């Protein structure tokens, strides 16, 4: 039993994790660097912090990687890079509340992708959950346009669309790497995928002509904070909690991220969510909850939880 196991109640650790991941959108919004630069250093710093532990504890797992495994990891890493790039950019154009809620819609697209690509069974509850969430997305996006939310969000519909792209990309990341994740331990899997993700983001950043250096100390602290807070503290504790709590408890708890991010944005950024955002967001979260709970398999639920901790 580790020291963490002896001294930290699982529910307390999970609460800290949800709070940590809820800070992600705030840190991204505080940074004035280009979105691609934020995403690049967020993933790069996380990789550098995890790599020594992964190599020391899982050297054999790296040696067991086959060419097919590397190909799958590359696909997962590319999808994850698209997720980070689109979601970080969405925060430039829409509110934190809308962006975080929509990007959390990953389970909906995982269910659709698993049905379309893997021929997995789709239950009536899954269909209902997806339809409910889609209605919530429409209410949120159209309602914001009609309510004049442009003061807080210059192009809410565009930002919301980018958040949905981020959700689709995150679902693709999960679906591409699911079989690989079943054969390889978590840390080696994350390191390989994050290395690919970093490489793709680096290429996109250079292609866009963004500076890689020359940012003030405040920006570097924010980049590091994105990696340490939501990247390490949040996701590490979530994966630790999965070993001590039912996966359904952890999955449902992660729906607290949009709530936490919305409250933090209200206090720290002065972003007051519109009625459309609150109502639509609640409907979206309800649809996600219904969809995520439509499969009774504990293993699948655990996989969905690990997939949904990419932010």
Provide the pLDDT for residue 248: 61
pLDDT confidence of residue 297: 41
The rounded distance, in Å, linking the Cα atoms of 170 and 119 is 19
Angle between helices 156-183 and 298-307 (to 10 degrees): 130
pLDDT at 309: 47
How far apart CA 46 and CA 291 sit, in angstroms, is 30
> Is the pLDDT higher at 201 or at 104?
201
CA–CA gap between residue 165 and residue 176 (Å, rounded): 16
**Rounded CA separation 40/46 (Å):** 10
Query: Is 149 a residue whose pLDDT tops 90?
Result: no
Higher-confidence residue of 281 and 153: namely: 281
> Could you tell me which of 230, 309, 203, 204 has the C-alpha nearest to residue 45?
230
260 near 85, Cβ under 8 Å? no
> How high is the pLDDT of residue 42?
95
Residue 35 has pLDDT above 90, yes or no: yes
pLDDT of 128 above 70: yes
The mean predicted confidence, pLDDT, of the chain is 82
């Amino acid at each position: 039993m580790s020291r963490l196991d002896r001294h930290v109640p699982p529910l307390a650790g999970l609460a800290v994790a949800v709070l940590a991941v809820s800070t992600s959108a705030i840190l991204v919004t505080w940074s004035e660097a280009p979105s691609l630069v934020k995403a690049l250093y967020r993933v790069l710093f996380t990789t550098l912090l995890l790599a020594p532990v992964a190599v020391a504890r899982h050297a054999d797992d790296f040696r067991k990687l086959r060419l097919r495994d590397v190909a799958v990891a590359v696909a997962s890493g590319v999808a994850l890079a698209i997720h980070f790039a689109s979601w970080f950019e969405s925060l430039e154009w829409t509110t934190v509340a809308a962006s975080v809620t929509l990007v959390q819609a990953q389970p909906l697209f995982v269910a659709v992708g698993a049905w379309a690509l893997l021929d997995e069974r789709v239950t009536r509850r899954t269909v209902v959950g997806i339809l409910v969430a889609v209605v919530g997305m429409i209410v949120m996006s159209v309602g914001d346009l009609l309510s004049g939310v442009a003061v807080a969000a210059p192009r809410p519909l565009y930002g919301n669309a980018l958040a949905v792209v981020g959700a689709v990309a995150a679902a693709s990341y999960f679906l591409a790497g699911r079989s690989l994740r079943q054969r390889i331990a978590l840390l080696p899997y994350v390191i390989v995928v994050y290395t690919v993700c970093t490489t793709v983001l680096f290429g996109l950043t250079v292609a866009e002509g963004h500076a890689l250096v020359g940012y003030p100390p405040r920006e570097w602290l924010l980049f590091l904070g994105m990696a340490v807070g939501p990247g390490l503290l949040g996701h590490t504790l979530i994966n630790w909690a999965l070993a001590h709590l039912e996966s359904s408890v952890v999955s449902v708890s992660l729906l607290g991220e949009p709530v936490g991010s919305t409250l933090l944005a209200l206090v720290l950024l002065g972003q007051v969510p519109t009625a459309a955002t609150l109502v639509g967001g609640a409907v979206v979260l309800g649809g996600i909850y219904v969809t995520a709970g439509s499969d009774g398999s504990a293993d699948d639920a655990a996989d969905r939880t690990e997939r949904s901790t990419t932010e």
